[in-house]
Amino acid sequence: MEKILSDQCDRSGHTVAFFLVIVPKKLDFPQAHMEDVHSEAVQWMSFYSAQIGSRAPSDLKVLYLCGPEPINDLDIFISLGIIPQNIWAVENQRSLYKHAIDQLQNHNSYIRIHHGNLERFFNTVNDRFDIIYVDACGPLPSSKPNTLRLPISMAENERLAPLGVLITNFAEPGSQDYDRYADLMSQYFAPRYTDFPNVLFEDGVDPEIAKYDVDYLKRYVSRRITDVYSEFITHFFVDLVRNIVPCRRIFANLEIRRKYFAEPQVLKKVKSKAIASPKFNSDMTPQEKIASFFETIGDFHLNPSSYPIATFIQRASKLPYLRRFLEPIIGGNLDGTDPVDALLTIELIEHMIEGHWGAISSEMLMAVQQSWIDKNGGLFCDVPMPNLLVNSLFGIYSHPYFPNPVGSKRIAYIAKSTRMYTDCFLFDQCRYYFDFWPTIDLVPARFQSLSFQLILRTCLDRIGRHDWNSTSHPFRGAALVGFDDITSAKKYEFEERYEEIFHELKDG
């Protein structure tokens, strides 16, 4: 069994492989308990295999923006074993669509080609694709063209398969917009620490200062627009499909909100306390002002890196030109709730341990109270915080996409005179983890099984090690063992963007 699980871990970064190594060392199980663990492991492995399965190239469905010459990409797809019946092409411009039709007819290539807008295609055509290629023809984000609506539509409608490849292509911002993008990226990276761009560390940026002083960070970002933008695209896109869109899905469902969150009036008070600004009186002594500062300031301001997405969205939305960039995220409402407020609420609940216990429902409190076997620490590397359980329960409904950096690639090149940034993401919805959970009212009883908990913790370890440094990772603090304690105890990050093609084109 240990060899089976170890082999499975070699094939997939998000699978159970640790516990048969760790359990004997940490828990000293009697034989009867070990048999129970093995039985649960076999059940999970069967469930995992049914969820993932094995796919041949001829089984894969592909969607791409074809332009006037669809044959260029089509020939490559077919050479790799993908069959024409599984390929969709999309082109919106009438003249380009006509050229595409002519070329396909001349080559006797009869794929399905859609004349229309890709965002509407995602909204209306009920199909899922294993590979999606999207060329945005603009920076991320931008208002004209609006490059956020398309990936949001794709994620909201789950047009990418549960285990799929998404290829995105975004342009660099024009030099006339550098200052705005410097603002945007400074707001984004300010409340972060571990996933700060390396070039900013190299230039001497102190993240502890940056998270409170965005103008301080902007001075550095403005000198490194190209390098920082390269990192921003990847991390922001991951946040979009792993955090932001799934959180919007939770808040758009009133029944889930009632089950997970406190009553609206109670929740409002908790949020008001969390975002409160410090209060001072003019007649206070310096010592009294300091005391009042820590007594009255909300944790949202005191510790912004615990709320990286909400901090970014709230700060950026106060600047009109950035609000236009982010309108697809922050515009409208989610069943009567402002999306900015919704993202804050989610992050407060994830970090209930910071004093936001009043924000959760009685059902959520019961689930958290009955939680992990090692909640006091001592068994594994990381003490499990409430975010592990909360985001697991969210994921049952929200269907987040998690990146696997090992299978992802990042490229930069020049198209005519514009620098382009291509990200080839391998995304995994990890349904073999989330669908193994019961819903919230059954969690306390199900958690009585130590074997079940070990399955969850080992899955969380694997998921948490991918994009490890992300400040906004839903499963931060899920490690069972420290780095290199065993062979599989590694962290996985996105590789540096490959730019050799760019240099060749520039030199040539």
The answer to whether residue 334 sits within a structural domain is yes
Encoded tokens for 467: 């994009």
The answer to whether residue 320 sits within a structural domain is yes
pLDDT of residue 27: 60
What's the distance, Cα to Cα, between the start and end of the chain in Å? 55
The answer to whether residue 293 sits within a structural domain is yes
- pLDDT, tens only, 276-315: 887 777 777 777 667 777 778 888 988 999 999 999 999 9
The answer to whether residue 433 sits within a structural domain is no
pLDDT of residue 1: 35
The answer to whether residue 335 sits within a structural domain is yes
Distance CA 199, CA 346 (A): 31
User: Residue 233 above 60 pLDDT?
Assistant: yes
Confidence at 153, pLDDT banded by 50, 70, 90: very high
| Residue numbers of the domain that contains 261 | 254-399
Rounded percentage of the chain residues whose pLDDT exceeds 70: 91
User: Residue 9 above 70 pLDDT?
Assistant: no
User: Residue 14 above 60 pLDDT?
Assistant: no
| Residue 165, beta-bridge partner list | 131, 426
User: Residue 30 above 70 pLDDT?
Assistant: no
Per the model's pLDDT, the better-predicted residue between 421 and 380 turns out to be 421
pLDDT of residue 377: 82
User: Residue 502 above 50 pLDDT?
Assistant: no
pLDDT of residue 116: 94
Distance CA 140, CA 121 (A): 21
> In this structure, what DSSP letter does residue 61 have?
-
The answer to whether residue 475 sits within a structural domain is no
The answer to whether residue 243 sits within a structural domain is no
Distance CA 500, CA 337 (A): 46
Distance CA 260, CA 362 (A): 8
pLDDT of residue 17: 47
Cα separations (Å) of 432 from 82, 264, 284? Answer: 26, 33, 57
* Predicted TM-score (pTM) of this structure: 0.91
Please name the residue that has the structure tokens 């990146």: 403
Q: What single-letter amino acid sits at 317?
A: S
Question: How is 148-202 classified by DSSP, letter by letter?
Answer: SHHHHHHHHTT-EEEEEEEEEEEEPPPGGGHHHHHHHHHHHHTT-STT--HHHHH
Number of domains in the chain: 1
pLDDT of residue 31: 67
Helix (H, G, I), strand (E, B) or coil at 470: coil
Encoded tokens for 382: 């990381």
The answer to whether residue 151 sits within a structural domain is no
